Amino acid sequence: MNRIINWVIALSMMAVAASLSAVLYIKVGLPVGEAGWIGVAVLLLMILGQFVAGRMRERSGFHERLEDLSNVTSRLVRDVAELDARIGANEARLLNNIEDTVAEKIAPLSAEIGLLETLVRQIGERIAEAPVREAAARKPKAQKAQPEPVAEEPAKPARPAAPRRTGAFASLSDDAFAKLVADSVNESRMEIHLQPVVTLPQRKVGHYEALTRLKTEDGKLITPEDFLDVAEAGRLMPVIDNMMLYRAVQVVRRLQTREREFGLFCNISPQSLTDGDFFAQFVEFMEHNRALSSQIVFEFSQAAVEAAGPIELASLDRLSELGYRYSMDHVTRLDFDAKALFEQHFRFIKVPAALLLSEAARIDADIDPADLHDLLARYGIELIATDIERESEVVDLLDYDVTLAQGNLFSPPRPVRADVMQDAALPSSMAKVG
């Protein structure tokens, strides 16, 4: 385009010079030679003027571009300075956040380490005291059975009590089984098994129940049905509850990182609520983990709830102040006070499916089992049907508007996977006593 304009200007200047020469020759009467030279001179002057004007335009454009470049450079310097300032501020803020996060993570770990130290001391004290208490408990019986021991004849061995245990432990004596339980507690050999609580009719997992299993040295599992009486007699339940809660918290934390929302039911012995040393540490530990209060639910049997005295009720109040909720299980009668349970912060009640569906419960209870779900719902309590083994029970429970269920039909209790519990093992320096 510029080339065409230059050609047009050149032709125009030549036309002007030729026209001037023609006018001088025709009108003025100058000779042809003089008129031609004048035209050439004018043409040269126009060419020189055009050249000078072009150079001036180029110089003016160069200065403008140079000024624009200077402005761009200034803006770039300012932007770089602002970016550097923002990066510095972000680095400082990130360092502060990292320090706060590290401090927040270390605080509960420190509390857990302190709790584990107390746990080890309690294990030692329980193990040391158990033989003394057992000997003291047996001494009056021995004296009554043999009021006048005869020195001449050796005493006949006492007949062992009928075994109250099942499976591989049925043949063990009380003393041998008590030592087996104490050794498992002493060595912190415990597993947490989880059984899901599912929604009906979808059968999606909504909650889990944490079930304690002690493990012998050769790997056999001791269920609560077998070890509970022995552990209560030896005052070992606070220690067992302590270890179970520590592992349960680890399970909740690990599954939280997978963005799973669920409730975890943890069975607690009433003995733990009345043990002053244990309960103080227990409350401190749960206070450090109160962020989990919406997911951890403490579970007590109906017999324990009905037998609760002032100490147990005060302990429950302490925990409820931290935001924790309760569940009542092992229900054998439906004549409980739902309003009173709600005021004591019970939010779940587990009733065996056989009890809900039995005609005897319908006759003996003040309320029809079919109406139990609606009654509890009025007080903000959820009904969970348990011990479900058959599909026919599920069909009948749906007629009762039951929306939560638990039982081997859906899944038996299964051990927590190793990748979930890998951070929950007791430190090796604290795993044994003495």
Share the mean pLDDT of the chain. 82
- How many other β-carbons are positioned within 10 Å of the β-carbon of residue 306? 12
In what helix (H) or strand (E) does residue 77 lie, and over which residues does it extend? helix 32-145
Classify the phi-psi angles of 24: left when phi > 0, otherwise alpha if psi is within -120 to 50, otherwise beta: alpha
| The total number of residues written for the chain in this structure | 434
Name which residue leads in pLDDT, 130 or 270: 270
Question: Out of 180-189, 201-210, 421-430, which region has the weakest mean confidence (pLDDT)?
Answer: 421-430
Structure confidence at residue 279 as a pLDDT band (50, 70, 90): confident
Q: What's the predicted TM-score (pTM) here? A: 0.62
pLDDT at 319: 92
For 421-427, what is the mean pLDDT?
50
Following CA atoms 86, 88, 93, 99 in sequence, which dihedral angle do they give, to the nearest 10 degrees?
160
CATH 3.20.20.450 fits 174-430, yes or no: yes
**Res. 95: pLDDT tops 70:** yes
Q: Give the helix, strand, coil percentages of the chain, each rounded to 5.
A: 60, 15, 25
- Which of the 8 DSSP states describes residue 431? S
**Res. 7: pLDDT tops 80:** yes
Distance (Å, whole) CA 77 – CA 80: 5
**Res. 371: pLDDT tops 80:** yes
Sign of CA dihedral 174, 177, 183, 188: negative
- How many other β-carbons are positioned within 10 Å of the β-carbon of residue 196? 20
Q: What is the largest CA-CA distance in the chain?
A: 178
pLDDT at 429: 34
Q: Where are the alpha helices (DSSP H) in 190-337?
A: 224-233, 237-256, 270-274, 276-288, 302-306, 310-321
Question: Out of 132-141, 144-153, 261-270, 417-426, which region has the weakest mean confidence (pLDDT)?
Answer: 144-153
Distance (Å, whole) CA 228 – CA 226: 6
pLDDT at 144: 42
pLDDT at 130: 61
Name the burial class of residue 73, with classes exposed (0-12), middle (13-18) and buried (19+) by CB atoms within 10 angstroms of its CB: exposed
Sign of CA dihedral 266, 267, 270, 271: negative
Percent of the chain's residues with pLDDT above 70? 79
**Of 66, 60, 57, which Cα lies nearest the Cα of 5?**
57
Q: Per-domain residue ranges for the chain?
A: 2-78, 174-430
pLDDT at 431: 38
pLDDT at 141: 45
Q: Which amino acid is at 303?
A: A
> How far, rounded to the nearest angstrom, does the alpha carbon of residue 49 sit from its chain's CA centroid?
85
> How far, rounded to the nearest angstrom, does the alpha carbon of residue 388 sit from its chain's CA centroid?
28
Is the CB of residue 181 less than 8 Å from the CB of residue 234?
yes
Distance (Å, whole) CA 244 – CA 224: 12
Is the CB of residue 325 less than 8 Å from the CB of residue 347?
yes
Residues facing residue 298 across a β-bridge: 266, 326
> How far, rounded to the nearest angstrom, does the alpha carbon of residue 345 sit from its chain's CA centroid?
22
403: helix, strand or coil: coil
427: helix, strand or coil: coil
Is the CB of residue 297 less than 8 Å from the CB of residue 265?
yes
